Amino acid sequence: MPTAQNKRLTVHFAGGELPDDMVVARDAIASCQIDLRPWLGEGIGLAEVASTLQTMADPGRAIRYVVDPAR
């Protein structure tokens, strides 16, 4: 990571999960113990992209949107 060092960036990586951890997560999602809807983001049409980019600057707004050209 020479570029990160040159820019004096600190990079933290997560990892180390075991295969059993993935099984537990999959089972929790499948049994609806975890609600994934907040992670998926709102669907928007192409016409809404410009205004959505402006609203994303607000820290209180969602940071993930799904662009659906058919909308």
Question: Rounded to whole angstroms, how far apart are CA atoms 52 and 61?
Answer: 10
Of 2, 68, 3, 12, nearest to 40 (Cα)?
68
In this prediction, residue 8 carries a pLDDT of 72
* Six token digits for residue 44: 């928007």
pLDDT, tens digit, 9 for 90 and up, residues 13-69 = 777 788 899 899 999 999 999 888 777 778 999 999 999 999 888 888 877 888 999
Q: Centre a 10 Å sphere on the Cβ of residue 39 and count the other Cβ atoms it contains.
A: 8
Beta bridge partners of 66: 43
Contacts by 19-24 with C-beta closer than 8 Å and gap 24+? none
Domain boundaries, the chain: 39-71
What is the pTM assigned to this prediction? Answer: 0.45
